[in-house]
């Protein structure tokens, strides 16, 4: 082989390796029962990360802060996408400013986020978590370690009392003896969202 042929062969092999390859997944429908082939849509399985329509129990995080665990969310097909149907009560937990929250209309029991494309929804299938990214300027709260008032609960009405009693006695062989008695306590009451403690 002469050097010209080696260079041509090397050049052609480099071109072949540099061509982008299209990876596609195809399913053989013959494995399905003939009566089921027309009723089952397996086109969703061709793309990575696609969620089949239906109800799923997922965790929900807003800007990496988990706000709900075991939340039932219905995923609906809209055009060629599957999107989560998020209800009023879950959106109230996002901690949005009132004007932003009021700008999100409700359509068929689902909040429509199309007017706010800056809100991004990403479903992590491995962890079953819906990650929602919201601009900080739209949030009424900004702390990682603080829950928004919309997630606060009044709690159970009741009275609480906590106390500690300490007693000690010191009696040496020589000298005076001493006895100490100490008491510490906390009392409180919860009623109608108010908590008083002393």
153 confidence band (pLDDT: 50, 70, 90): confident
Over residues 11-66, the pLDDT tens digits come to: 777 666 666 555 555 667 777 777 777 777 676 666 666 788 889 999 999 988 88
pTM above 0.85, yes or no: no
The 3-class SS string of 105-171 reads CEECCEECCCCCCCCEEEEECCCCEEEEECCHHHECCCCCCCCCHHHCCCCCCEEEEEEEEEEEEEC
193 confidence band (pLDDT: 50, 70, 90): confident
Domains of the chain: 50-145 (3.10.20.410), 158-197 (no CATH)
Over residues 96-111, the pLDDT tens digits come to: 899 999 999 988 889 9
- Distance, in Å, from the CA atom of 84 to the CA atom of 53, rounded to the nearest integer, reads 9
Handedness of CA 66, 69, 72, 76 (dihedral sign): positive
Give the residue, 150 or 176, on which the prediction is more confident.
176
């Amino acid at each position: 082989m002469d050097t010209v042929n080696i260079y041509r062969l090397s050049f052609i092999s480099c071109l072949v390796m540099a061509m982008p390859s299209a990876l596609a997944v195809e399913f053989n429908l013959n494995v399905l029962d003939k009566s089921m082939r027309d009723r089952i849509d397996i086109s969703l399985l061709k793309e990575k990360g696609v969620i089949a329509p239906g109800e799923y129990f997922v965790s929900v995080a807003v800007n990496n802060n988990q706000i709900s665990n075991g939340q039932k969310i219905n995923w609906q097909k809209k055009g060629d996408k599957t999107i989560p149907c998020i209800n009023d009560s879950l959106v109230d937990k996002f901690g949005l400013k009132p004007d932003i929250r009021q700008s999100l209309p409700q359509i068929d029991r689902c909040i429509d986020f199309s007017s706010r494309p800056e809100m991004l929804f990403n479903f992590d299938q491995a962890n079953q978590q819906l990650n929602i990214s919201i601009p900080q300027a739209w949030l009424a709260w900004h702390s990682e370690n603080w829950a928004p008032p919309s997630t606060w609960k009044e709690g159970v009405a009741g009275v609480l009392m906590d106390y500690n009693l300490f007693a000690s006695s010191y009696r040496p062989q020589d000298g005076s003896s001493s006895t100490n008695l100490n008491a510490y306590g906390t009392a409180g009451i919860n009623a109608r969202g108010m908590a008083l403690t002393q």
